[in-house]
Chains A and B, each alone.
Chain A
């Protein structure tokens, strides 16, 4: 089998056009707006990158939710990473775009240029070999991400414990999707009346984590894959639910997601991590029980505890002009922000939504404005 066989059908133009036709047919019989929040930045990226919005009717709106690990990271946590990286004999490890997120005094790439040993990893498991290769240094993994990437951190902790790699510490910033959905819906201005649920999250946690949102807010939730056909099919399923006036939990990405998820991964996470009392989300503010931290018995690996006296405690708000908070809550679109594409661009982002390729502002900046092109 060719590799392209794995995804080509999910980008088949005929299927995409047929799905668009069906969506248009159903939605023409619905008078109200369908305001779909794609919780995950990956879906935002798909919608923009593949120009799917151009195929859809005017009464379908997208609201870009808080599901991007980079976008929701408050400045003070980046400041923590910077403070740790500046300690003597420390190697700070993190993933991808996190080195571009602005803290209150620059991003991690800038600290790296000043001489700090900061390394973005392709594979979190590389943290083990880096720790083994540098026995006289303290290796700190600045762990980020939603339910999707949490198991990798749990495996790392597990291996560090089993192999007694004592110089590998963790700064845990793992966050959870359901409390963020609650925070969005708690806002009196919330306009969301349907959700596209992140599939990768549900591969681990199962579709069950969205059941409460369906029941409480009477909104359809369709757990969706990330290819264009996946997203279009999920939109069709939402539109059909709206047409039938129902609100159900639905799994479009059934090739990898079930109701209960990966229970082995969940068990490993529960072995090492526990709920944090509160985590301050960028744009959404503090949300109780919305993030994880190391269990007390693993305090010997917790960089937040071991280096507590070096970590700043000041909470830092966004730049005044930045509307990332409203965008993450679904109250504003990227183009509503006064600094969008002017003072704030991917080259010099004011807000995190412009940093990550999965951020709503970044996706809008890169891809939109060509609807007349043919």
Chain B
């Protein structure tokens, strides 16, 4: 086990020699154990059939460890969720690490174990990977890239598939991940019991598919939050979307952070919250299925697809006025005064 001999990642851990082999065999293979990975061929040999979804994502986060997760959990849940949102059962993942020289072996091990635990949520397997170690100062701790393939169980789900009259459902309270990351940053020095929503969504999606729910569009609201997803849908499907502010679930802690810094929860990132567009007549059934899962008990129908205001998202206030819900711009920066 490399941890016995080294406390920090050395450049030699990426050099292709004994140290690298030890890191891969003793830590990565052990955590991600499966015959395809352990065969150590130049490429993984996979059995794919039917329509397949393929996705990739790179993960950089500051801080690496936050309430409710870490970069490892994110790297698995993020890619698995991208597949799940296409109704594809996550099957095979690749995983590449770019590690800064001097990174603590102990932290690396925590991240890898977290990835292994998260993989169990969907049953996906890491079947190939890569490790690079870069000199100190050339990376910020650790970067992880994961790619994934999965079999599409329910074709036709698309950002272009929203229909006028569709109901829009959000799976839980929004903005938790963005708020948790902000609170974890040293510069804010805030204390809260808030945790990220970081989670694998496949188990819930699997149930919706099993119940034969007619899903038109589905997306996890990651960076850019709810605002970004709804605007993307409105543009791609050339429809208007109308949502009611009073029905959008937001936790006390997230709302508190927003009040303090002038943010809007609609713009904050999520890592285990998804939005669905589906026919109004199956909305209640879908909601009932989602609410059976512990972190979806606040799932809510937040609005509808409309034929007017094509390409725009309209937010109705509780006092009868309306405004556009625009996509967030640039870095999220706190108000000045």
- Where the two chains meet, the residues of A that have a C-beta atom closer than 8 Å to any C-beta of B are 2-4, 6-7, 11, 13, 16-17, 20, 42, 48-55, 69-70, 95-100, 109, 120-123, 126, 144-146, 148-149, 200, 228, 346-347, 356-358, 365-374
Contact string, B308-337, partner A, CB cutoff 8 A, digits 1/0? 110010101111111110100111011111
Check B336–A51 contact: CB distance below 8 A: no
Check B334–A11 contact: CB distance below 8 A: no
Check B323–A48 contact: CB distance below 8 A: yes
The 10 closest A-B pairs by CB, nearest first: A51-B321, A373-B322, A13-B319, A148-B337, A367-B323, A16-B319, A13-B318, A54-B321, A96-B333, A373-B314
The answer for the CA separation of A148 and B337 in the assembled complex, in Å, is 6
Q: List residues of chain A with CB within 8 A of the CB of B309.
A: 370, 373
Q: List residues of chain B with CB within 8 A of the CB of A366.
A: 323-324, 326
| B136-164 residues at the A interface, CB under 8 angstroms | none
Is there a chain A Cβ closer than 8 Å to B135's Cβ? no
Query: Looking at the complex, which one of B252, B259, B262 makes contact with A357 (CB distance below 8 Å)?
Result: B262
Q: List residues of chain A with CB within 8 A of the CB of B326.
A: 365-367
Q: List residues of chain B with CB within 8 A of the CB of A373.
A: 242, 308-309, 314, 316, 322
Contacts A4-B252, A97-B336, A373-B242 given; does A49 touch B320 at CB 8 Å? no
The answer for the CA separation of A42 and B335 in the assembled complex, in Å, is 9
Measured CB to CB, the nearest residue on chain B to A48 is: B323
Contact string, B115-150, partner A, CB cutoff 8 A, digits 1/0? 000000000000000000000000000000000000
Check A122–B187 contact: CB distance below 8 A: yes
Measured CB to CB, the nearest residue on chain A to B252 is: A3
Is there a chain A Cβ closer than 8 Å to B235's Cβ? no
Contact string, B95-120, partner A, CB cutoff 8 A, digits 1/0? 00000000000000000000000000
Count chain B CB atoms within 10 A of each CB in A99, A120, A370 and give the residue with the most.
Answer: A370
The answer for the CA separation of A49 and B264 in the assembled complex, in Å, is 11
Check B316–A96 contact: CB distance below 8 A: no
Is there a chain A Cβ closer than 8 Å to B203's Cβ? no
Task: Name 14 interchain pairs, CB-CB below 8 A, sorted by A.
Answer: A3-B259, A4-B255, A6-B259, A42-B337, A53-B321, A54-B320, A69-B336, A70-B336, A98-B336, A123-B188, A126-B187, A146-B337, A358-B335, A369-B324
Q: List residues of chain B with CB within 8 A of the CB of A52.
A: 321
The answer for the CA separation of A53 and B322 in the assembled complex, in Å, is 10
Q: List residues of chain A with CB within 8 A of the CB of B63.
A: none
The answer for the CA separation of A347 and B331 in the assembled complex, in Å, is 11
Query: Looking at the complex, which one of A120, A123, A200 makes contact with B337 (CB distance below 8 Å)?
Result: A200
Is there a chain A Cβ closer than 8 Å to B15's Cβ? no
Measured CB to CB, the nearest residue on chain A to B253 is: A3
Count chain A CB atoms within 10 A of each CB in B259, B308, B335 and give the residue with the most.
Answer: B335
The answer for the CA separation of A358 and B19 in the assembled complex, in Å, is 54
Check A370–B312 contact: CB distance below 8 A: yes
Is there a chain A Cβ closer than 8 Å to B35's Cβ? no
Check B335–A7 contact: CB distance below 8 A: no
Measured CB to CB, the nearest residue on chain B to A227 is: B259
| B37-62 residues at the A interface, CB under 8 angstroms | none
Check A357–B335 contact: CB distance below 8 A: yes
Check A99–B333 contact: CB distance below 8 A: yes
| B73-104 residues at the A interface, CB under 8 angstroms | none
Q: List residues of chain A with CB within 8 A of the CB of B317.
A: 13, 50-51
Count chain A CB atoms within 10 A of each CB in B255, B318, B322, B336 and give the residue with the most.
Answer: B336
Contacts A3-B255, A126-B187, A347-B329 given; does A95 touch B323 at CB 8 Å? no
CB distance from B111 to the nearest CB of A (A): 27
Contact string, B186-208, partner A, CB cutoff 8 A, digits 1/0? 01110000000000000000000
Q: List residues of chain A with CB within 8 A of the CB of B331.
A: 99, 109, 120
Check A50–B336 contact: CB distance below 8 A: no
The answer for the CA separation of A370 and B212 in the assembled complex, in Å, is 36
The answer for the CA separation of A48 and B315 in the assembled complex, in Å, is 12
The answer for the CA separation of A373 and B309 in the assembled complex, in Å, is 8
Check A122–B334 contact: CB distance below 8 A: yes
Check A51–B322 contact: CB distance below 8 A: yes
CB distance from A164 to the nearest CB of B (A): 24
Check B335–A2 contact: CB distance below 8 A: no
CB distance from B266 to the nearest CB of A (A): 11
Q: List residues of chain B with CB within 8 A of the CB of A16.
A: 319
Contacts A20-B319, A123-B189 known; list 17 others, CB within 8 Å.
Answer: A4-B252, A13-B317, A48-B323, A54-B321, A54-B322, A55-B321, A95-B336, A346-B329, A357-B335, A366-B324, A367-B326, A370-B309, A370-B312, A370-B314, A373-B308, A373-B314, A373-B316
CB distance from A65 to the nearest CB of B (A): 14
Q: List residues of chain B with CB within 8 A of the CB of A367.
A: 323-324, 326
Measured CB to CB, the nearest residue on chain B to A198 is: B337
Contact string, B218-254, partner A, CB cutoff 8 A, digits 1/0? 0000000000000000000000001000000000110
Q: List residues of chain B with CB within 8 A of the CB of A120.
A: 331, 333
Check A374–B336 contact: CB distance below 8 A: no
The answer for the CA separation of A292 and B154 in the assembled complex, in Å, is 64
The answer for the CA separation of A369 and B312 in the assembled complex, in Å, is 10
Check A370–B337 contact: CB distance below 8 A: no
Check A2–B333 contact: CB distance below 8 A: no
Q: List residues of chain A with CB within 8 A of the CB of B321.
A: 50-55
Check A122–B188 contact: CB distance below 8 A: yes
The answer for the CA separation of A54 and B336 in the assembled complex, in Å, is 27
Check B316–A374 contact: CB distance below 8 A: yes
The answer for the CA separation of A231 and B189 in the assembled complex, in Å, is 32
